[in-house]
Structure 1
Amino acid sequence: MDCWSTPLHLDDEFKKLVIRMNPPRVTVDNTSNRTATVIKVDSANRRGSLLEVVQVLTDMNLIVRRAYISSDGEWFMDVFHVTDQNGKKCLEDDVVDRIQQSLGPRVRSFRSMRRSVGGQPALEHTTIELTGRDRPGLLSEVFAILADLKCNVVAAEVWTHNSRMASVVYINDETTGLSIDNPDRLAKIEQLLLYVLKGNIDKKSANTAVSVDSTHKERRLHQLMYADRDYDIYEGDYMATSDRNKLFVTVDNFIDKGYTVVNLRCPDRPKLIFDTVCTITDMQYVVYHGTVIAEGPEAYQEYYIRHMDGYPISSEAERQRVIRCLEAAVRRRTYEGIKLELCSEDRVGLLSDVTRIFRENGLTVIRAEVTTSSSQAMNIFYVTDVSGNPVKSETIEAIRKEIGLTILQVKDDGVCSKSPPKESGKFSLSHLFRSSSEKFLCNLGLMKPYS
């Protein structure tokens, strides 16, 4: 060994020291931009910094309109133009304070911030993760089993894509309201759920996992579906032609600088930047530079990436895999079903009853978001018929009458109502107008100038 080399553990300790000495500096600017709040973050760099920042913004329900990213070397600087859900600046003092606190020194210990789910302390729920082949009535069967086993669903999120299903469910004991930690009971829950997930047609292995840890639902769902290879297309799997025409992903090597350049264009929607950055990070790539523009009906994202080993993509197979995975990351949250919102007093078995009514009326749930606050249940379901087609209005009204007209409402989501791009083929953000924030990064040498 070279006498001048540094042991790995000392190198890690030095990096930790650098981070402690250089905590993230966050500025929140509501004056320089007419329509958005500008958030600037710079700090000593480490893998995952970008995702943690984007994750915090997403969890605060902020919409990223523009983003300029540079993290080449030991330092990163990110600039985000954000608005609230109504397209307004974040003018309230408490919102500004939350941004500064969330993206300040605590960003380095982000996982410690996830202390509650659905309004419940983390110690008061048990986490169940499920993956398997999707089929009509599956969610109804899962919730029925949990209700029969005296488990109360505190919160849950369910995604389906390419005939696969992934869900993260938080439960507690019906009687005590606390997490379930009895090994025999947990084993029984896991065994019965696995039996339902496998069914008679699952050609791929189903999976369940039970723990008492708190997880970030949406990031974990991306990881579960990625591990389940939902990005692979199998004969007979459904993919709408109109959806393919709305999404463009290109991946090419920038030979001169040793980067791989990822370009993505699709209809804009909330959480899009989180979905793409999450996928890039979990596929073991690092974003060194990036630009995001999402100020109209379309979103444009451009990232300069390398694998964790420092090299760009080296094969055509790897390039195609990145394209498929990013396409899947976008489509997992893009649905064309009817959005139903249920608000009522929470009770054990509520989800089992509601999803059973859906099933009996020929509806299948393609996505679900379940939350509870105190004793109030606030659940969102995206539904289609069993063939994936829109549900007839008379069917929806019949279900609403059975559940309760004031309890179950039809909502206009608008996620899939955007017009498709007018042009296809390769594209680049270099052809778009550059704002003053990007020029500022170029002047500092933190972003490659474009001709």
Structure 2
Amino acid sequence: MEEMEDEYTKLIRRMNPPRVVIDNDSCEDATIIQIDCVNKHGILLNVVQVLTDLDLVIKKAYISSDGGWFMDVFNAIDQGGKKIRDEGVINHIQKTLESDDVSVPSLGGTVGLMSSEEHTSIELTGTDRPGLLSEVCAVLADLHCSVVNAEVWTHNARAAAVVHVTDDSTGYAIEDPKRLATIKSLLCSVLKGNNDMRSAKMMLSPPGVTHRERRLHQIMFADRDYMKVERVQGRVEEKCSRPQVSVLDCCEKDYTVITMRSRDRPKLLFDIICTLTDMQYVVFHGVVHTRRLEAYQEYYIRHVDGLPISSEAERERVVQCLEAAIERRASEGLELKLCAEDRIGLLSDITRIFRENSLSIKRAEISTKGGTVRDTFYVTDVSGNPVDDKTIDSVRCEIGQSVLQVAPNSGYPAKAEAKTISYIFGSFFRAGRSFQNFKLIKSCS
């Protein structure tokens, strides 16, 4: 019976192929991207993931997927705040989203280490502490592992990372089982430290590749980073700067209504949709609106079994998980950008200098392409407070003033606007070393 239903679904999709319309004329300050297709679980995440991976900024979105049909409208701009004019980007959006073969990676997979032809993928989780990334990088350097790219998140005293490494002598993935076992053993020892004997994890992952940033959400969700912890003493965190999430009933239509107001930031929509999808919720209707520094999101959801949220415990868990999804990637700390010619042990040296100057890395994006390293670090002092200018000057002198730069307009974001916005769909439903060997790469921005 299930096979017959699958074949019927495929037939319906072939009869109604996805349609993507990209309009640069109807809106004065944004490109309108409209997607119409037969609805299937996970399609919203798939669409948002495609747009996010192109570094597009979604200013507004209108979502509807009732009655077996999916229709999404996005108002998007590029990183420069302009309409999307690049024909290559436009063609990629249409070709990708109109393909019936596009699928969203599943939730399956455990924290661990996975090998591919190009690199070995290492997934880590454990208790966050100052110097942790430095210790991990030092172990990898000692084991002759070259970090190709990596992403590191910290939240609620937990840390997670996805690190792609190669053998520094061959430039390819590490395949030797004994060597992989040694890497696992030593990294686990670093992660466990003296107080994380149970929750630090690193195991072999099953075959399959999951979007890296989605995988980080999954790792931290599995690690229960959404559980509240006491804030570090001495750090000032204003209540109005925290995301505001509410979960209410919409009894008229048997939905659960989720509203969120938070600081706007890149990839915010992806983080929310990713979390809802991995928690097995379906978005039937939704709206996203951003203005200045604030983002407002409203969704009408049900669980995949068709039922709305029914218990107070589940409501509280959804609130905690969505708050965590918003906070994990928040740009906490001073943003430092490094651009230099790659060499063996570079990342280990950089993170060691940070540690020696009492800098705590809250988040990091590390990439290497064509022999050029482009890294972004978000740092605070060990107490989570802003770093003083003297420390930054000292670090930059040691690494190289032209190699490590403070990002323009960096620092702690301004407060979000504290405004109450009514349900946008309400009326609708009522109606129905000094590193002298570094070379500054001139092309680096």
The two structures share one fold, judged by TM-score above 0.5: yes
Structure 1 counterpart of 2:181, one-letter code: A
3-state secondary structure, aligned to 1:322: helix
Task: Work out whether residues 190 and 208 of structure 1, in 8 Å CA contact, stay in contact via their aligned partners in 2.
Answer: yes
Q: Which whole-Å CA distance do the structure 1 matches of 2:84 and 2:411 have between them?
A: 23
Task: Work out whether residues 186 and 210 of structure 1, in 8 Å CA contact, stay in contact via their aligned partners in 2.
Answer: no
Q: Which whole-Å CA distance do the structure 1 matches of 2:197 and 2:191 have between them?
A: 11
Distance change (3 Å), C-alpha of 1:237 and 1:388: closer
Q: 1:46 aligns with which of 28, 35, 40?
A: 40
Unmatched segments (≥5 aa) in structure 1: 1-6, 113-120, 432-441
Task: Work out whether residues 52 and 107 of structure 1, in 8 Å CA contact, stay in contact via their aligned partners in 2.
Answer: no
Q: 1:125 aligns with which of 119, 122, 126?
A: 119
Q: Which whole-Å CA distance do the structure 2 matches of 1:106 and 1:402 have between them?
A: 52
Q: Which whole-Å CA distance do the structure 1 matches of 2:377 and 2:386 have between them?
A: 14
3-state secondary structure, aligned to 2:117: helix
3-state secondary structure, aligned to 2:66: coil
Structure 2 counterpart of 1:137, one-letter code: G
Residue aligning to 1:380 = 376
Structure 1 residue 95: deviation in Å?
2.1
The within-5 A match list for 1:364-375 is: 364-375=360-371
Task: Work out whether residues 66 and 295 of structure 1, in 8 Å CA contact, stay in contact via their aligned partners in 2.
Answer: no
Identity %: 53
Distance change (3 Å), C-alpha of 1:155 and 1:209: farther
Structure 1 counterpart of 2:312, one-letter code: E
Q: 1:218 aligns with which of 213, 221, 243?
A: 213
Report the aligned-residue RMSD: 2.3
Residue aligning to 2:436 = none
Distance change (3 Å), C-alpha of 1:184 and 1:244: farther
Distance change (3 Å), C-alpha of 1:325 and 1:237: farther
The reply to whether residue 175 of structure 1 matches residue 169 of structure 2 is yes
Distance change (3 Å), C-alpha of 1:83 and 1:393: same
Structure 2 counterpart of 1:292, one-letter code: V
Q: Which whole-Å CA distance do the structure 2 matches of 1:122 and 1:94 have between them?
A: 29
The reply to whether residue 317 of structure 1 matches residue 305 of structure 2 is no
3-state secondary structure, aligned to 2:102: helix
Aligned residues: 422
The reply to whether residue 398 of structure 1 matches residue 417 of structure 2 is no
Residue aligning to 2:222 = 227
The within-5 A match list for 1:4-19 is: 7-19=1-13
1:164-192: CA deviation from partner (whole Å, max 9, x where unpaired): 00100001111111111221111111111
3-state secondary structure, aligned to 1:387: coil
The reply to whether residue 188 of structure 1 matches residue 186 of structure 2 is no
Structure 2 counterpart of 1:62, one-letter code: L
Residue aligning to 1:159 = 153
3-state secondary structure, aligned to 2:162: strand
Q: 1:264 aligns with which of 238, 260, 270?
A: 260
Structure 1 residue 248: deviation in Å?
1.0
Q: Which whole-Å CA distance do the structure 2 matches of 1:164 and 1:244 have between them?
A: 23
Residue aligning to 1:290 = 286
Structure 2 counterpart of 1:201, one-letter code: N
Task: Work out whether residues 65 and 292 of structure 1, in 8 Å CA contact, stay in contact via their aligned partners in 2.
Answer: yes
The reply to whether residue 300 of structure 1 matches residue 296 of structure 2 is yes
3-state secondary structure, aligned to 1:52: helix
3-state secondary structure, aligned to 2:362: strand
The within-5 A match list for 1:246-257 is: 246-257=242-253
Structure 2 counterpart of 1:172, one-letter code: T
Structure 2 counterpart of 1:224, one-letter code: I
Structure 1 residue 413: deviation in Å?
5.3
Structure 1 residue 138: deviation in Å?
0.4
Structure 1 residue 335: deviation in Å?
3.2
Distance change (3 Å), C-alpha of 1:110 and 1:323: closer
Q: Which whole-Å CA distance do the structure 2 matches of 1:186 and 1:324 have between them?
A: 36
Residue aligning to 1:329 = 325
Task: Work out whether residues 129 and 210 of structure 1, in 8 Å CA contact, stay in contact via their aligned partners in 2.
Answer: no
Residue aligning to 1:354 = 350
Task: Work out whether residues 284 and 299 of structure 2, in 8 Å CA contact, stay in contact via their aligned partners in 1.
Answer: yes
Structure 1 counterpart of 2:266, one-letter code: P
The within-5 A match list for 1:28-47 is: 28-47=22-41
Residue aligning to 2:129 = 135
Structure 1 residue 250: deviation in Å?
0.7
Q: Which whole-Å CA distance do the structure 1 matches of 2:430 and 2:94 have between them?
A: 29
Structure 2 counterpart of 1:232, one-letter code: M
Task: Work out whether residues 334 and 412 of structure 2, in 8 Å CA contact, stay in contact via their aligned partners in 1.
Answer: no
Q: Which whole-Å CA distance do the structure 1 matches of 2:409 and 2:279 have between them?
A: 30
Residue aligning to 1:80 = 74
Q: Which whole-Å CA distance do the structure 1 matches of 2:34 and 2:275 have between them?
A: 23
The reply to whether residue 104 of structure 1 matches residue 113 of structure 2 is no
Q: Which whole-Å CA distance do the structure 1 matches of 2:79 and 2:94 have between them?
A: 19
Structure 2 counterpart of 1:95, one-letter code: V
Structure 1 residue 297: deviation in Å?
2.2
Structure 1 residue 17: deviation in Å?
3.2
Distance change (3 Å), C-alpha of 1:240 and 1:313: farther
3-state secondary structure, aligned to 1:324: helix
Structure 1 residue 34: deviation in Å?
0.6
3-state secondary structure, aligned to 1:39: strand
3-state secondary structure, aligned to 2:80: coil
Structure 2 counterpart of 1:138, one-letter code: L
1:13-70: CA deviation from partner (whole Å, max 9, x where unpaired): 3223333443311010000111100000011111100000000000000000110000
Structure 1 residue 420: deviation in Å?
2.7
Q: Which whole-Å CA distance do the structure 1 matches of 2:96 and 2:141 have between them?
A: 37
Q: Which whole-Å CA distance do the structure 2 matches of 1:56 and 1:379 have between them?
A: 23
Structure 1 residue 347: deviation in Å?
1.6
Distance change (3 Å), C-alpha of 1:220 and 1:35: same
Structure 1 residue 332: deviation in Å?
0.7
Structure 1 residue 429: deviation in Å?
3.1
Residue aligning to 1:276 = 272
Q: 2:55 aligns with which of 58, 61, 64?
A: 61
Task: Work out whether residues 131 and 164 of structure 1, in 8 Å CA contact, stay in contact via their aligned partners in 2.
Answer: yes
Q: Which whole-Å CA distance do the structure 2 matches of 1:110 and 1:286 have between them?
A: 14
